[in-house]
Structure 1
Amino acid sequence: MQREKLIPLWAFMLPLGAILIWSLNIVVTRYISDYISPVSISFYRWFFAFIILTPFMLLKVLKQRKEIKPNLKKLAVLSAFGMVMYQGIAYTAAHYTTATNMGIINAFIPVFTIVVSFFILKDRPSIFAILGSVISLCGLIYVVSRGNLSTLWESGGHLGDALMLCAVFFYAFYGVFLKKWQIKLPLLVSLYIQIIFAVIYHLPLITYFGLDHLNHQNISSILYAGIFPSIISPFLWMMAVQQIGPSRTSIFMNLMPIFTAIIAVIWLDEKWTVYHTVGGICILVGILLAQKQKVRYTINKKLA
């Protein structure tokens, strides 16, 4: 009987560090929204990430250009969904909602991924996935309505939450396309090519909307966004997947709304309320339940 490989304790610090960085980035996104436009911060983030990675990645990309070329269209689509639409809309949402709400809505990515997977990958959800999605949706509605469902119909009151939902929906497409295509490239090479496309996509946007200047109020946040959540977190996450596996790693995503809320309360003086607690618990319970995929919502052919 083969023994299960013992996972070192330090390996669990990898996804924890990645989630902490991403959570802090949500709060940074909310903080910097008062000092720079969404298009500008999004462009600067990926431009600085490109500048930092180029000395390490350029030769590798040139050597693997034959393997990269057939995947360029797919990498362009991934960049559009994951780096431009998701992150750009999230930066816009930060002008109209709290970092706490952004963190909670961001935790809804696994549920949206189940829905998108059904239509694109024809991946039928299990009973657990359906039930978990419904519970998470109820929790999300409770948070967005601030504990009062009648407020959902107030005009303009939840623009930021609605935008963040759109951003999360686009990121779900990113994850599903990533799974569908299974691009056979080193992860850092794939990340670097997507960053290049992200910079290119932003050129017409900054031409139309303009580019804000860097100053003492926004430079530190931009550098943080360009280095930590754009490069270090993905690297830590990839190492975690190798060390402890994708399933165990994905569970750590459920800590993001908690970390985000704690940081937002300390830094931005945001308030954690009862509706955040009730709705957040519903969302997390639903997500954990949705990850159970053993019982399928189909009839076993052997019993037919």
Structure 2
Amino acid sequence: MTQQQKTMAWAFLLPLMAVLIWSLNMTVNRYVADYISPLSISFYRWVLAFLVMTPFVYRCIKKQWPDIRPYLGHLALLGALGMVFYQGLAYSSAHYTSATNMGLINAFIPVFTIIVGVFILKIRPSITAILGSLLSLIGLMYVMAQGQWAHVLSLGDSYIGDLMMLLAVFFYACYGVLLKKWQIQIPLVSSLYIQICFALIMHLPFIAFMGLDAINVNNVASIAYAGIFPSIAAPLLWMMAVQQLGPNRSSIFMNLMPIFTAMIAYVWLGESWTIYHTVGGVVILLGILLAQYSPKPKLT
């Protein structure tokens, strides 16, 4: 294995670890939905992330401020898309649908990423990326149909939560594409920190209108997890993945979220895991492998 191949192998671990963290967070979202409002947990998680990061990055931010200032508009929009709209809608969705459904719908991110990328980045996706995405989508739809295609059009009473989650993943696809388009030339940690600051500011008008729930023994552990792992670790891993692999290749790993989420929800929340999850999961994995394949140019 060449050094370049080893580097690529490590790069593929970046989105994989991020998706695993987010998959667990999907289950946390569903678990804590009965104990705290979507706005409250969204705000508390970013407050915690801000407090954890500030001692480590504040001095660096002061030194880098001249380089950061030109990107403030971009960072504000990224914070809105990834930390306010996506997370807020995901927490709201958890009040209406299952963690398994949330993980399934999150797998639409690669499809949205390709569509948004065509318009914003003017990217012409490879045939293997298109076929891999379609294959993964077929696996996803099979799981959503519970192994019976007639169920695709009758998803039940959870459609409100499902639609919220679908809109959330569209916003996150936009986040990934814009992150790639702008190529913000500041350290990733600084970028994440500034985005968190903007996300906190954007929460304030909603808090003034709706108020906050209290932190208690039922929700404090979920807030702690959400404030550290999916708020700091996973975004850093994901931004590094987008830089190394690009938005299309990175986003295809989101198709693993239905499998990870369903497994975690089965163990933790008792949500069902059946043969159609297994069959659909295999198809999704095959689609991911196909989408990652880049044919070598023929030597002449």
**Cα RMSD, aligned residues only:** 3.1
Q: Percent identity?
A: 61
The yes-or-no answer on 1:211 pairing with 2:212 is: yes
- Deviation of 1:7 after TM superposition, in Å, equals 4.3
**SS of the counterpart of 1:124?**
coil
> What corresponds to 1:118 in structure 2?
118
1:204-238 Cα shifts (integer Å, max 9, x gaps): 11122221111110011001100111113344556
Aligned to 2:25: 25
- Where 1:49 maps in the other structure, the secondary structure is helix
In the aligned structure 2, how far is the partner of 1:46 from the partner of 1:134?
35
2:3 — aligned with what? 4
Show CA shifts across 1:104-157 (max 9, x none): 222332222111101111112222233333333333333334335356256744
Summarize deviations over 1:178-211 as a string: whole Å, max 9, x none.
0100000000000000000010111111122221
Cα distance 1:70–1:215, how it changes in 2: closer, same or farther (>3 A)? Answer: same
How far apart are residue 47 of structure 1 and its match? 1.1
Unmatched 5+ stretches in structure 2: none
- 2:127 maps to 1:127: yes
Matches within 5 A, 1:267-282: 267-282=268-283
- Mapped contact 2:23–2:103 kept (Cα < 8 A): yes
- 1:97 partnered with 2:101: no
Other-structure match for 1:173: 174
SS of residue matched to 1:152? coil
TM value normalised by structure 2: 0.85
Change (3 A) 1:154 1:54: closer
TM-score, scaled relative to structure 1: 0.83
Contact between 2:82 and 2:175, CA under 8 Å: does it hold in 1?
yes
Q: In structure 2, how many angstroms separate the alpha carbons of the residues matched to 1:154 and 1:232?
A: 34
Contact preservation (8 Å) 1:111, 1:287: no
- 1:60 corresponding residue in structure 2: 60
Structure 1 residues 293 and 209: alpha-carbon distance in aligned structure 2, compared to 1, 3 A threshold? farther
* CA distance in structure 2 between the aligned counterparts of 1:101 and 1:281, rounded to whole angstroms: 18
User: Cα 1:236–1:172, aligned 2, differ >3 Å: closer, same or farther?
Assistant: closer
Question: How many residues matched?
Answer: 291
Does residue 1:137 correspond to 2:140, yes or no?
Answer: no
Q: Contact 2:136/2:288 (CA < 8 Å) preserved in 1?
A: yes
What's the CA shift for 1:73? 0.3
Counting only pairs closer than 5 Å after superposition, residues 287-302 of structure 1 correspond to structure 2 as 287-292=288-293
Q: Aligned residue for 1:70?
A: 70
